[in-house]
Amino acid sequence: MDPADEQVTDKVNSTSALASTPNMLSANSEQSKPDSSEVSLDRTKDEPSPGGARRGFRFWAIITSLCITGLLSALENTVVTTSLPTIVRDLNLGDNYIWITNVFFLTSAAVQPLFGQLANIFGRRWLTLSIVALFTLGSGICGGATNGGMLIAGRAIQGMGSGGINMIVDVIVSDMVPLRERGNFMAIVLTVYFIGTSIGPFVGGAIVESTTWRWVFYINLPVGGLSLAMLFFSLHLNYQKEMTFLQKLKRIDYGGNTIIIGSTVSVLYALTYGGTKYDWSDGQVVAPLVVGLIGLIAFIAYENSPIVIEPVTPPRLFNNRTSASVFFATFLNSALLYWVMFFLPVYFQAVLGSSPRRSGVQLLPIITIAVPAAILAVMLLTKFGKYKPLHIGGFAVCTVGLGLFSLFDQGSSEAKWVIFQIITGGGSGFVLNTLLPACQAPLLEKDQAAATAIWSFIRSFGNIWGVAVPAAIFNNKFEDLSYRIQDPNLQLLLTKGHAYEYASASFVSSIPEPQRSQVIGVYVDALKLVWQISIVFSGVAFLSVLLEKQIKLRTGLDTEYGLEDQKQQPHVEAAVPGTQRSVTEK
């Protein structure tokens, strides 16, 4: 039998769970002995999706609401990229500019495991409403910011909302649709999401040129209000855990959440200032980096310890090679996504002399090709149930495209940067939303929310590195090459981490010759190294997905969080007291 088609048996140690669901698990005797860490959940392969024929108005109202909610996060992920230099200059942030993006990614990543646990404890509905309200509040604070500190605080609140949105949308779709069919419905959400992503850079540039940058954030307020209203009236889901509020609070893994949030903050601080404000060997960089990495190791040990009754990140999620390799590939892929989104505008504005609005338009090839590529990928996944070939092909093409980026210079033609972006965007699109189903495939349905939350955390944590690492590479290389700028005052202005801040057409065009050509040349060569290092990241991701095992995707739905009037199939109950009867979220 082809290993790619190998189906492995489910290893579940709870005999009571097995006794209550005698038909859910079956051994596959026709194949060789499987990897003991892998599980197969194809226990309903011949059963239709519960409620599949009843996907009426409320089902589609929820899907529509999720699309609008996803639009919030999509806009914010890219609308800031082309407007960031203007914001930094207006609020005089200096080398603290990176906190505008990094604090967003920090809080987005740090809260996702907690939100995943809260979704299981308190249900989906009120958590989702709270998340959207949090994002909208953060947008209002950012729009009204009068100084850098207020803007960064608003971005921190926005980040928590954005991280929750990215996670909860996937969780709710997983609640309503079987794994094999999720691609079709995620394609709908993806379409709207990528529309927001596509227009984000253009909208950001247009806002900066035509009005105040504050509307980059204010634009989220009406969208957030609409999303809240739609979710309030449509999102009514089953909830299986009937407990008192105090009992629910006791289930939260306070220790694990504290450790992972603190460790994430510590690592980010080191990545933010390493190589810019401080040397990498400086104690103010080394100490927080070491503390953060040790904290992440301590988090793993803590979650595996017997003192944790209900860990925020159940260790069993990592006990199979497929999910583990997907988690790793997700980290690298998300890093590369923001690697590209934050440094292509530097090339367009500082090297090619494009305005913020024009650079937004120039980003469209990579984004717009990723839209049909991502939709095609999830549809192929639904039809054939094969995720491994999509990942191998996607990362291979993406690696080639990133390598071609290193050829960019001040003389690159329009055809060149369009075609190279299309190649990279096509490869990235094929893996962007097929990683989560592959991660979920070897895991039990009761672990879907936890798995989605940790997958979203890893994705957001990768975003942090995807900004910090290329920023460090870029700034260090620019510093090394700054001797080529003959004007000492100009050289001083652009070093010590300020090169990104001044990467705008208006600034570069104001420099007289020959210094202008010298500055552009340094930007070109610093960016070349940024793209060359990205090849390594993408290549490692390609190697990691080779470790995946192809597992048959489930066609039946077994969840305790479906639509409130949807009859549920028996499920494997989590070993948590107080779970005897189902109630409905109101």
User: Rounded to a whole number, what is the distance in angstroms from the first to the last CA of the chain?
Assistant: 50
Contacts of 448 (CB under 8 A, 6+ apart): 171, 174, 175, 440, 559
pLDDT in tens, 302-317: 988 888 888 888 888 8
User: Burial, 300: exposed, middle or buried (Cβ in 10 Å; 0-12, 13-18, 19+)?
Assistant: middle
Q: Is the pLDDT of residue 215 over 60?
A: yes
For all residues of the chain together, what is the average pLDDT?
Answer: 79
Q: Is the pLDDT of residue 105 over 60?
A: yes
Provide the pLDDT confidence category of residue 417 given band limits of 50, 70 and 90.
Answer: very high
pLDDT in tens, 326-360: 999 999 998 998 899 889 999 999 999 988 778 87
Instruction: At 159, list the tokens.
Output: 């980040």
Q: How many CB atoms lie within 10 A of CB 247?
A: 14
Report long-range pairs for 184-191 (Cβ below 8 Å, ≥24 apart): 184/378, 184/379, 184/382, 185/63, 186/378, 186/433, 187/374, 187/375, 187/378, 187/379, 188/63, 188/67, 189/63, 189/66, 189/67, 189/70, 190/371, 190/374, 190/375, 190/378, 190/433, 191/67, 191/371, 191/375
The pLDDT of residue 298:
93
> Which residue did the predictor score with more confidence, 64 or 577?
64
Provide the pLDDT confidence category of residue 561 given band limits of 50, 70 and 90.
Answer: low
The pLDDT of residue 54:
57
The pLDDT of residue 275:
63
Contact indicator for 484, 523 with CB cutoff of 8 Å: no
Q: If you average pLDDT over residues 277-293, what whole number do you get? A: 85
Phi, psi of 239 (to 5 degrees): -145, 120
Tell me how far apart the alpha carbons of residues 180 and 437 are, in angstroms, rounded to a whole number: 8
Q: Which residues pair with 238 in a beta bridge?
A: 584
**Distance of CA 226 to CAs 63, 68, 158, 172, 220, Å?**
14, 8, 17, 19, 10
Q: Is the pLDDT of residue 279 over 90?
A: no
Q: If you average pLDDT over residues 567-577, what whole number do you get? A: 40
Q: Is the pLDDT of residue 554 over 50?
A: yes
> Which residue did the predictor score with more confidence, 323 or 179?
323
Contact indicator for 238, 124 with CB cutoff of 8 Å: no
The pLDDT of residue 418:
94
Tell me how far apart the alpha carbons of residues 373 and 561 are, in angstroms, rounded to a whole number: 31
Which of 53-67, 201-215, 286-300 is modeled with the greatest confidence? Answer: 286-300
Tell me how far apart the alpha carbons of residues 538 and 329 are, in angstroms, rounded to a whole number: 9
- Domains of the chain by range and CATH? 52-253+310-545 (1.20.1250.20)
* Cis, peptide link before residue 514, omega less than 30° from 0: yes
Q: Is the pLDDT of residue 276 over 70?
A: no
Q: Is the pLDDT of residue 112 over 60?
A: yes
pLDDT in tens, 375-394: 889 889 888 889 999 999 99
Q: Is the pLDDT of residue 197 over 70?
A: no
Q: If you average pLDDT over residues 95-108, what whole number do you get? A: 78
The pLDDT of residue 317:
85
Provide the pLDDT confidence category of residue 242 given band limits of 50, 70 and 90.
Answer: low
Phi, psi of 71 (to 5 degrees): -60, -35
The pLDDT of residue 440:
85
Q: Is the pLDDT of residue 235 over 70?
A: yes
Instruction: At 583, list the tokens.
Output: 């109630």
Q: Is the pLDDT of residue 399 over 60?
A: yes
Gyration radius from the chain CA atoms: 24
Q: What's the number of CA atoms in the CB half-sphere (13 Å) around residue 530?
A: 33
The pLDDT of residue 531:
95
Tell me how far apart the alpha carbons of residues 586 and 578 are, in angstroms, rounded to a whole number: 19
Q: If you average pLDDT over residues 241-270, what whole number do you get? A: 83
Q: Is the pLDDT of residue 419 over 90?
A: yes
The pLDDT of residue 530:
94
Provide the pLDDT confidence category of residue 460 given band limits of 50, 70 and 90.
Answer: confident
Q: What percent of the chain has pLDDT over 90?
A: 24
The pLDDT of residue 206:
74
The pLDDT of residue 565:
57
